[in-house]
Structure 1
Amino acid sequence: MGATKRIMALGAVGLGLAAAGCSSIPDHKGYIVDETLFQAVQPGIDNRESVRGTLGTPTMTSEFGDPVWYYVSSLTRQAPFRMPRIAEHTVLAVTFDAAGNVVSAERSGIDQVVRLDPEDDETPTLGRERGFLEDLFGNIGTVGTGPGAGGAGRGPGG
């Protein structure tokens, strides 16, 4: 009976290892969101320096339009032999006026994330579909016939 118990114990250990191998691996990227600190940022009261002191350096800042600081946080999970998937995603956006005072502090989540799935090796575009031969021979007869082309009618003294 001792051998049977050992086999059952080894089977249980093997089953446990197999189950552990199928679990997903979490990975956090970016800013670590602290709800208390985010709630401490108040429009009309805080400025850039106080926000930097409370939330730290932003993940990225806006290049155009109103000055906005973004704090981006993502939690991904990856099953074995699979691509990672976003499980949680949070963006804290703090908008400033020209004087550097906080105008708004907003949060967005995974509902604002757009998933793009490229089709094969091509990106779909608007416009006319052209085949290989049209791409290859499409410019025959059009070279040199447009404005600014060589020859007569080139401009003054042309």
Structure 2
Amino acid sequence: MLLPFAKASVAAAVLAVALAGCTSSTSLVTKRTQGYEIPASALQQIRVGQSEQLVTLVLGSPMSTNSFGDQTAWYYVETKVNQTSFGMAMVQERTVLAIYFDKNKKVADRAVYTLKDGKVIPIESRRTPSFGEDATFIDSILSSF
């Protein structure tokens, strides 16, 4: 039988070992960056009139491109997220660098967009009604006989 002092010592030792396992490396939330890391020095190097090749040397290949008319846009996206140990990711910050090129493949303009510039678009959950009835796979097989 343990003495009351011994019981308290054992409980304290168990608690100390349990707390020692709780370090910052086993945090429940990790911070990470998805996509590009856009340094401020690279932003300062991109100016109107520069070529696509120079932009590629400074920033690398774009994440996405878009062509409309005789202009082209390159997009570099940086997203900072907090991810829990359970797999849930929460976006903390998003930066989109858009570089617009003219028909001569020279920088015409550049813009930096953040989460504040974005708009949330609700997804429509209604379904378009079809003529007739919705048939399952089994129904369509049986109706062919």
Could you say whether these structures have the same fold, taking a TM-score greater than 0.5 normalized by the shorter chain as the test? yes
Give runs of aligned pairs for residues 1-158 of structure 1, distance below 5 A.
4=8, 7-15=11-19, 17=21, 23-44=28-49, 46-65=50-69, 66-81=71-86, 83-115=88-120, 123-124=125-126, 136=133
Alignment RMSD (CA, Å): 3.3
CA distance in 1, matches of 2:58, 2:27: 40
Structure 1 residues without counterparts, runs of 5 or longer: 138-158
> How far is 1:115 from its partner?
4.3
Please state how far the C-alpha of 1:104 moved relative to its aligned partner. Answer: 0.9
Query: Which of 87-96 and 16-25 deviates more?
Result: 16-25
TM-score by length of structure 2 reads 0.68
Structure 1-normalised TM-score? Answer: 0.63
The structure with the larger Rg is: 1
Instruction: Give the structure with the higher percent strand.
Output: 2
Count of matched residue pairs: 128
SS at structure 2 position matched to 1:98: coil
Question: Structure 2: any 5+ residue segments left out of the alignment?
Answer: 135-145
Report the secondary structure of 2:78's partner residue.
strand
CA apart distance, 1:84: 1.0
Q: Distance in 2 between matches of 1:55 and 1:89?
A: 17
Distance 1:22 1:31 in 2: 24
* Percent identity between the two aligned chains: 24
Per-residue CA distance 1:123-157 (angstroms, 9 max, x = gap):
246x8xx6xxx8639xxxxxxxxxxxxxxxxxxxx
What is the deviation of 1:12?
4.2
